[in-house]
């Protein structure tokens, strides 16, 4: 009876044996991974004192953590897909290391009509990897495809500010030629905007707006992203895609820019953190990030000083917050929401999470325009929280209705919500139940039947406050709080079009104050951080706050 449960006993027994026998060499060598050993080069590395450093020359091995759901850049939405696409494609503009926009496919552009008309002049010498010339028509096709309601691209909102784009995407206008983006000739691409948004050149630097080949997509249909079919224009090309195992990129000989030093990038899909981490320690991966870096190991690497500078921590433009459904009791009362906000010690939460998270006072993370530096005294005040709660009719948490917090099924979110549950119990004497759901189910629940409280995180799509602030405008599909405020919408809209940075910052601060202090449909908790481990023989890994990794300048070797 219950034989399966005896397996656990066996497992635990083996666990003891391993722990007791070898606390240090526990995982190394316990996993074998099919890497061709004859390709591995052994060498003794004098500078770093690692006598058995092993790497594959001019090859970078990293872990995507999972199979990329889609390599079609009009449809992709997740980090694994973007990691591949950002290295095989370039757009009109590109991000520099400090996240400003620089010329790429477009060598220059004119901005006219008070910032509402962009004319891009394309370089005449850019070729696709099959030798065909890149033209402005490829951009026109890609952008129309992104906005086409048939494509149902989640990132269609990226281009909503183009003339008629929203109406076309919603099906109110049927004719794609009415859209405000057009190729005048092979090398000139003109875009007409509804309003002069200040961050448009960021949009042209990110995956959804990259050009696409009409002939290829029409010939292969949904299979056009398969290796051999997929044609790209970036520093690398897709060479192999072994599903659930690895993707292999090779240097693109027809890339217009400086040829990358790497010949091959191997992107493995190892879902288990501990397995991937063991592979890194075994020199079978060259760099890993949070996806492959168990939290408890981060602490160890951060503390130890003799790790050859392998460890890096980058604060990300990624915000995690608690949202309320303001239609559901007791969170229809703004005092309750404010009480919760003051009753949570965000600094303590960050200490518990241990990835290098930073507490947040505003929805806009630093160093973006309009961000408010975190000050503990102004964000955490249990006395005030208790006062607000009793004003709302629940002195010392008495008679507070039973409520719950929904969170997605992931290890670090579990820890965060447990810590929040503890904070609320300790500071407000309120017990909140915790409920977790699988990611897809969780997203559906948020849309269709928003729970009283939920934990959500949002990563910036472009390094501008707008990417966060427009989330809570009335018509944004990601605003699950049911909160809408005309003044807020107006402020965010105004700020988006404001050219003067000081004025913009001021407007965003006002909107943020409304969102996070006065109405408080959300409580911003913390910004995330990326923790990287990079082997000493890898140079030039550029990690940025958008969490995009570009491998064109990476070198592997001594």
Partner 1 sequence: MFLIRELKLQTNMQQTKIHLAKIAAIIILIMCVVAILSSLGFSFTSYSYDQTSECILKPPSAHHLLGTDELGRDLLTRIIYGSQLSISIGFLTAIIAFLVGTAYGSIAGFIGGRVDTLMMRGIDLFYALPDLLIMILIGIVIGRGTFGILLALGLVSWMGTARLVRAQFLYLKKEEFIEAARACGASSWRIIVKHLLPNAFAPIVVSLTFIVPSAILAESTLSFIGLGLSPPACSWGTLASEGWRALRTEPHLILWPSLAIFIVVLSFNFLGDTLADKLDPKNKLIN
Binding site for partner 1 (CB under 8 A): 1-9, 12-13, 15-16, 19, 23, 26-27, 273-274, 294-297, 299-300, 351-352, 409, 411, 414-415, 418-419, 421-422, 425-426, 433-436
Q: What does the alpha-carbon distance between residue 298 and residue 278 come to, in Å, rounded to a whole number?
A: 13
Q: Which is nearer to partner 1, 249 or 405 (CB)?
A: 405
- Rounded to a whole number of angstroms, the minimum distance from the CB of residue 489 to partner 1 is 38
Give me the sign of the Cα torsion angle 213, 219, 225, 226: negative
Q: Which is nearer to partner 1, 433 or 518 (CB)?
A: 433
- Rounded to a whole number of angstroms, the minimum distance from the CB of residue 2 to partner 1 is 4
| β-pair type (41-45, 287-288) | unpaired
Q: Which is nearer to partner 1, 422 or 489 (CB)?
A: 422
Q: Which is nearer to partner 1, 70 or 436 (CB)?
A: 436
Find the angle CA(434)-CA(330)-CA(392) to the nearest 5 degrees: 125
- Rounded to a whole number of angstroms, the minimum distance from the CB of residue 314 to partner 1 is 22
Question: Residue 293: CB partners within 8 Å, gap ≥ 6?
Answer: 273, 277, 531, 533
- Rounded to a whole number of angstroms, the minimum distance from the CB of residue 297 to partner 1 is 6
Q: What does the alpha-carbon distance between residue 145 and residue 75 come to, in Å, rounded to a whole number?
A: 10
Q: Which is nearer to partner 1, 42 or 431 (CB)?
A: 431
Q: Which is nearer to partner 1, 215 or 272 (CB)?
A: 272
Return the number of other C-beta atoms located less than 10 Å from residue 233's C-beta. Answer: 25
Task: List, in sequence order, every residue forming a beta bridge with 456; answer none if it has no partner.
Answer: 321
Question: Residue 449: CB partners within 8 Å, gap ≥ 6?
Answer: none
Whether the Cβ atoms of residue 134 and residue 211 lie closer than 8 Å to each other: yes
**Which tokens go with 22?**
């070898």
- Rounded to a whole number of angstroms, the minimum distance from the CB of residue 423 to partner 1 is 9
- Rounded to a whole number of angstroms, the minimum distance from the CB of residue 301 to partner 1 is 10
For residue 330, cis peptide bond before it (omega within 30 degrees of 0): yes
Whether the Cβ atoms of residue 176 and residue 144 lie closer than 8 Å to each other: yes
Longest C-alpha distance within the chain, in Å? 77
Q: Which is nearer to partner 1, 71 or 298 (CB)?
A: 298
- Rounded to a whole number of angstroms, the minimum distance from the CB of residue 403 to partner 1 is 13
- Rounded to a whole number of angstroms, the minimum distance from the CB of residue 419 to partner 1 is 6
**Closest of 235, 263, 277, 281 to residue 557, by C-alpha:** 263
Q: Which is nearer to partner 1, 365 or 451 (CB)?
A: 451
């Amino acid at each position: 009876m219950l034989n399966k449960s005896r397996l656990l006993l066996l497992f635990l027994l083996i666990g003891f044996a391993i722990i007791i026998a070898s606390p240090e060499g526990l995982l190394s060598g316990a996993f074998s991974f099919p890497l061709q050993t004859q390709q591995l080069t052994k060498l003794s590395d004098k500078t770093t004192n690692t006598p058995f450093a092993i790497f594959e020359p001019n090859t970078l091995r990293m872990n995507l953590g999972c199979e990329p759901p889609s390599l079609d850049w009009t449809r992709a939405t997740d980090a694994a897909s973007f990691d591949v696409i950002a290295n095989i494609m370039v757009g009109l503009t590109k991000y520099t290391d400090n996240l400003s926009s620089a010329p790429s496919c477009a060598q220059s552009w004119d901005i006219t009509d008070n910032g509402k008309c962009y004319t891009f002049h394309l370089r005449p010498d850019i070729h696709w990897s099959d030798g065909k010339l890149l033209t402005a028509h490829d951009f026109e096709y890609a952008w129309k495809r992104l906005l086409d309601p048939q494509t149902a691209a989640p990132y269609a909102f990226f281009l909503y500010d183009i003339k008629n784009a929203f109406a076309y995407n919603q099906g109110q206008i049927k004719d794609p030629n009415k859209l405000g983006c057009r190729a005048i000739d092979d090398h000139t691409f003109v875009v007409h905007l509804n309003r002069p948004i200040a961050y448009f050149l960021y949009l042209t630097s990110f995956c959804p707006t990259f050009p696409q080949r009409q002939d290829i997509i029409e010939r292969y249909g949904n299979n056009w992203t398969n290796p051999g079919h997929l044609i790209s224009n970036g520093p690398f090309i897709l060479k192999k895609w072994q599903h659930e195992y690895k993707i292999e990129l090779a240097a693109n000989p027809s890339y217009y820019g400086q040829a990358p030093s790497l010949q091959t990038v191997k992107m493995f899909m190892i879902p288990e953190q501990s397995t991937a981490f063991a592979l890194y320690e075994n020199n079978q991966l060259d760099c890993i990030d949070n996806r492959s870096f168990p939290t408890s190991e981060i602490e160890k690497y951060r503390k130890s000083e003799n790790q050859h500078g392998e460890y890096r921590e980058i604060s990300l433009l990624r915000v995690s917050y608690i949202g309320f459904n303001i239609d559901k009791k007791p969170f229809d009362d703004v005092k309750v929401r404010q009480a919760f906000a003051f009753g949570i010690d965000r600094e303590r939460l960050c200490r518990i999470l241990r990835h290098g998270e930073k507490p947040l006072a505003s929805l806009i993370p630093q160093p973006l325009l309009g961000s408010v530096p975190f000050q503990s005294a102004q964000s955490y005040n249990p006395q005030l929280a208790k006062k607000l709660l009793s004003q709302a009719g629940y002195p010392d948490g008495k008679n507070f209705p039973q409520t719950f917090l929904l969170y997605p099924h992931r290890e670090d979110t579990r820890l965060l919500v447990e810590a929040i549950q503890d904070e609320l119990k300790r500071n407000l004497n309120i017990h909140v139940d915790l409920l977790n759901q699988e990611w897809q189910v969780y997203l559906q629940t948020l849309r269709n039947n928003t729970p009283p409280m939920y934990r959500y995180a949002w990563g910036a799509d472009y390094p501008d406050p707008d990417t966060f602030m427009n989330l809570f405008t009335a018509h944004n599909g990601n605003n699950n709080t049911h909160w809408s405020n005309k003044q807020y919408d107006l402020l965010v809209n105004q700020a988006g079009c404001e050219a003067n940075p000081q004025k913009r910052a001021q407007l965003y601060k006002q909107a943020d104050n409304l969102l996070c202090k006065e109405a408080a449909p959300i409580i911003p908790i913390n910004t995330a951080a990326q923790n990287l481990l990079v082997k000493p023989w890898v140079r030039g890994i550029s990690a940025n706050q958008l969490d995009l990794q570009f491998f064109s300048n990476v070198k592997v070797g001594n």
